[in-house]
């Protein structure tokens, strides 16, 4: 009878242990599944943010490239206008009559004249 009682207790303990182990395994599976789901959602969100950042950077890059193109055109046009203006002024300077020799001031002659 003592052996039977001991066997029953051992059987009960095994069943209880199997039940606890089963519940622990189920909880572990649930935790792993939740963690994987959360990780997948986080990864998808990160990929979405990355795609959005790349899209915005590409749009900004295109805008900046267009601005560079506009400024380069402006620079070329301005350079040509400036060159034309300088050339025109140089040509107009050639049309100005050159002054003759500048008389030298003779202080002695001036003093004789006004004394």
Classified as helix, coil or strand, 1 is: coil
Q: What percent of the chain has pLDDT over 90?
A: 61
Q: How many CB atoms lie within 10 A of CB 10?
A: 10
> Alpha carbon of 110 to those of 33, 100, 101, 107: distances in Å?
115, 22, 19, 5
Average pLDDT, the chain: 89
Q: Tell me which H or E stretch contains 98.
A: none
Two tokens, residue 46? 């990160």
DSSP letters spanning 25-58: HHHHHHHHHHHHHHHHHHHHHHHHHHHHHHHHHH
Tens of pLDDT along 10-53?
A: 888 899 999 999 999 999 999 999 999 999 999 999 999 999 99
Q: Comparing 107 with 80, which gets the higher pLDDT? A: 80
């Amino acid at each position: 009878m003592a052996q039977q009682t001991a066997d029953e207790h051992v059987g009960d303990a095994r069943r209880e242990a199997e039940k606890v182990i089963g519940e622990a395994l189920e909880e572990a599976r649930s935790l792993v599944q939740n963690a994987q789901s959360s990780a997948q959602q986080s990864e998808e969100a990160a990929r979405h943010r990355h795609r959005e950042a790349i899209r915005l950077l590409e749009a900004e890059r295109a805008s900046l490239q267009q601005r560079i193109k506009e400024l380069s055109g402006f620079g070329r046009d301005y350079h040509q206008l400036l060159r034309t203006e300088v050339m025109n002024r140089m040509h107009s300077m050639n049309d100005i009559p050159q002054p003759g020799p500048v008389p030298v001031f003779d202080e002695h002659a001036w003093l004789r004249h006004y004394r």
